[in-house]
């Protein structure tokens, strides 16, 4: 059954899904799990990495500042890689580009083991991010194209939600290696083995092969054309608004959601806990406890947007984020209280990311889908890069309260709400051809 064919809808979303479609979801999710691991392993180990390379104390302002600068570099690399590899996936096919992106992030993450200077870390994080951004564009498009219409939102939501597994693995690796951060990056080479599974199991979707054949005969649009994407009166505005929405999600993720670890560390230090214990407990608070809420939020977006629609779900969860972020920053006075609130903040602030995997492929036609979805999500990374640099500058200001800085960064959700208002509703609609 084609995902664009109008037929009677099964009672349950997973009815009628074939073994191959499940296999594609598993493979795409595995790639995204490792994507998330490669991104989060730096967040989990960055204090140890930067204190080692900078030869500074854990609480030195430059450690936090350089941490946010490298996150900004990571977003820029993801933007470049996502746009490049997304376009190549429309031109050359989903399978070979997925293989290329997995190799990209695995190899360059592993090389971080040998880094001894700040510039080396920056360059390697940029290349890792290229692979991470590119893999998401291809995998999200592949899932959307392979699954039938009635199951598409649930499958895409599950795909993006598996990123939390990567975060948990990164947290576990970070706790296991402790201050010996280099071993965490040595482990990062392992995802390269996934390419054999991809190459032997994945087939090109019929929608892409049809678009390729039409392009070859001149009957369809040019595959992966940025010119056609941006100059089209429908696709161009959608791409730009999608970029803004993604920038809000990504900027708030790295400056607000990830800051759950900083909130825990700050609270523990103010409570008199020694630096080593505080660092371990902060990793646990973010990498395990907050991530539970993040996982539930990501898994909830699919069912919510099936019931409420894509636009209403985006708006609802961003309004919830505007409420829960300041509460999490200012209300808790003990570590236990913070642990109770962090899952709520993770749920609200990260849930919309699953919406990107569901919504962006639904906005664009076959011959531009990976290009456009990759542009929205990864140009959003680029737009979010200065947000991260600003966040690092803001948090490092003399006398700046960490709670206030995080709350101010959370106001970005207002922009996300406005962007959604100008985008179309795609609930119960077939993928554009």
pLDDT digits 0-9 by tens, 105-119:
999 999 999 999 999
Residue 195: band (very low, low, confident or very high) from pLDDT cuts 50, 70, 90: confident
Give pLDDT, residue 3.
44
pLDDT digits 0-9 by tens, 198-217:
988 999 999 889 989 988 88
Give pLDDT, residue 328.
97
Q: Is residue 426 part of a domain?
A: no
The CATH number given to whatever domain includes residue 277 is 1.20.1250.20
Count structural domains, the chain: 1
Q: Is residue 9 part of a domain?
A: no
Distance, in Å, from the CA atom of 207 to the CA atom of 210, rounded to the nearest integer, reads: 5
Q: Is residue 77 part of a domain?
A: yes
pLDDT at 1 over 70: no
Nearest 5 degrees, angle CA 317-CA 322-CA 326? 135
Average pLDDT over residues 80-97: 92
* Total Cβ atoms within 10 A of residue 411: 13
Range of the domain at 181: 19-421
pLDDT at 393 over 90: no
Give pLDDT, residue 8.
62
pLDDT at 268 over 50: yes
Average pLDDT over residues 222-244: 94
Q: What does DSSP assign to residue 8?
A: P
* Total Cβ atoms within 10 A of residue 428: 12
Q: Is residue 7 part of a domain?
A: no
Distance, in Å, from the CA atom of 85 to the CA atom of 118, rounded to the nearest integer, reads: 27
Q: Is residue 429 part of a domain?
A: no
Distance, in Å, from the CA atom of 409 to the CA atom of 251, rounded to the nearest integer, reads: 8
Q: Is residue 427 part of a domain?
A: no
Residue 102 C-beta-side C-alpha neighbours within 13 Å:
26
Q: Is residue 155 part of a domain?
A: yes
DSSP per position, 139-187: HHHHHHHHS-HHHHHHHHHHHHHTHHHHHHHHHHHHHHHTT-THHHHHH
Residue 57 C-beta-side C-alpha neighbours within 13 Å:
5
């Amino acid at each position: 059954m084609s995902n664009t064919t109008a037929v009677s809808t099964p009672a349950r979303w997973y009815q009628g899904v074939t073994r191959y479609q499940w296999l594609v979801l598993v493979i795409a999710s595995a790639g995204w799990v490792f994507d998330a691991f490669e991104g989060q392993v730096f967040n989990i180990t960055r204090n140890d990495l930067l204190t080692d390379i900078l030869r500074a104390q854990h609480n030195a302002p430059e450690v936090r500042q350089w941490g946010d600068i490298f996150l900004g570099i990571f977003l820029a690399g993801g933007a470049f890689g996502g746009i490049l590899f997304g376009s190549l996936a429309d031109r050359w096919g989903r399978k070979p580009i997925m293989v290329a992106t997995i190799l990209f992030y695995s190899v360059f993450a592993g090389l971080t083991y040998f880094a001894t200077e700040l510039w080396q870390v920056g360059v390697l994080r940029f290349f890792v991010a290229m692979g991470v951004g590119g893999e998401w564009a291809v995998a999200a498009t592949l899932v959307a194209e392979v699954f039938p219409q009635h199951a598409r939102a649930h499958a895409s939501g599950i795909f993006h939600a598996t990123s939390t597994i990567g975060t948990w693995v990164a947290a576990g690796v970070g706790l296991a290696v402790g201050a010996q951060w280099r071993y965490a990056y040595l482990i990062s080479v392992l995802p390269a083995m996934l390419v054999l599974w991809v190459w032997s199991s994945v087939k090109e979707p019929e929608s892409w092969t049809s678009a390729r054949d039409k392009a070859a005969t001149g009957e369809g649009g040019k595959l992966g054309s940025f010119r056609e994407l941006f100059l089209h009166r429908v696709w161009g505005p959608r791409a730009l608004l999608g970029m803004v929405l993604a920038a809000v999600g990504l900027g708030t993720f790295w400056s607000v959601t990830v800051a759950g670890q900083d909130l825990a560390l700050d609270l523990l230090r103010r409570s008199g806990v020694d630096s080593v214990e505080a660092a371990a407990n902060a990793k646990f608070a973010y990498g395990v406890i907050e991530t539970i809420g993040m996982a539930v939020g990501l898994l909830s977006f699919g069912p919510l947007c099936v019931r409420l629609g894509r636009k209403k779900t985006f708006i609802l969860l961003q309004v919830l984020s505007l409420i829960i972020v300041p509460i999490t920053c200012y209300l808790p006075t003990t570590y236990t209280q913070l642990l109770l609130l962090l899952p709520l903040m993770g749920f609200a602030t990260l849930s919309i990311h699953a919406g990107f995997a569901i919504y962006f492929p639904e906005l664009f036609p076959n011959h531009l889908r990976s290009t456009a979805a990759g542009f929205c999500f990864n140009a959003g990374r680029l737009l979010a890069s200065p947000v991260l640099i600003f966040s690092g500058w803001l948090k490092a200001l003399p006398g700046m309260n960490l709670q206030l800085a995080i709350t101010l960064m959370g106001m970005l959700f207002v922009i996300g709400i406005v962007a959604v208002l100008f985008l179309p509703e795609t609930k119960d609609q077939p993928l554009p051809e």
